[in-house]
Amino acid sequence: MEEWTASDSLRKHMLAVEAAVVAYARRYGADEDLWAATALLHDFDYERHPEVGPDGHPAVGVRYLREEGWPEELCLAILGHAGDELGVKRESDLARVLYACDEITGLITAAVLVRPDRDISQLKLSSLKKKYRSKAFAAGVNRADVERGAEELGVDLWEHIGFVVEAMQSAADRLGLDGRLAAD
């Protein structure tokens, strides 16, 4: 991840997704190491190949991972997180969880960073709901993907979002969302 990703914000995004995906791995009794690696690598090729497609993200990265001998379950989950553009169905729990956690972590991070305290432990779900409904807030976050992700997991949208917030709270220091970046 670090070799291919220079951007601190993209690295933190992958760490946020890791926190959420690993929390789901615990809930499902799944392989936490495999799920963590999948989350950490899901966007590692994005800076080099930002366009989604067979010659872009995440297909280029997955080709590299396959050459390096990474598990096929990890590779398929990473391909599946790109939505429907590559035609890869999300058939495993890992693939569905990665897809469900990807976009929402961006919205949660944005909601924390606009807070004066920049502390995720102080983020309230009611505040996040207001921001979620505002299409102008974190406009790059695809709400339809967030909703579809929760639906594919078979969980209520706000139950899922609350779960992801809690997972990110447990990793607040690694994500820089523990208040130390508070505005003066």
**Every domain of the chain and the residues it spans:** 8-175
Instruction: Show Cβ contacts of residue 109 under 8 Å, excluding neighbours closer than 6 positions.
Output: 12, 13, 16, 168, 175, 177
Q: Write out pLDDT tens, residues 136-178.
A: 999 989 999 999 999 999 999 999 999 999 999 999 999 999 9
Burial of 92 (0-12, 13-18, 19+ CB in 10 A): middle
pLDDT at 135 exceeding the cut of 60: yes
pLDDT at 112 exceeding the cut of 90: yes
Q: Write out pLDDT tens, residues 55-107.
A: 999 999 999 999 999 999 999 999 999 977 888 999 999 999 999 999 999 99
Q: Which CATH class is domain 8-175?
A: mainly alpha
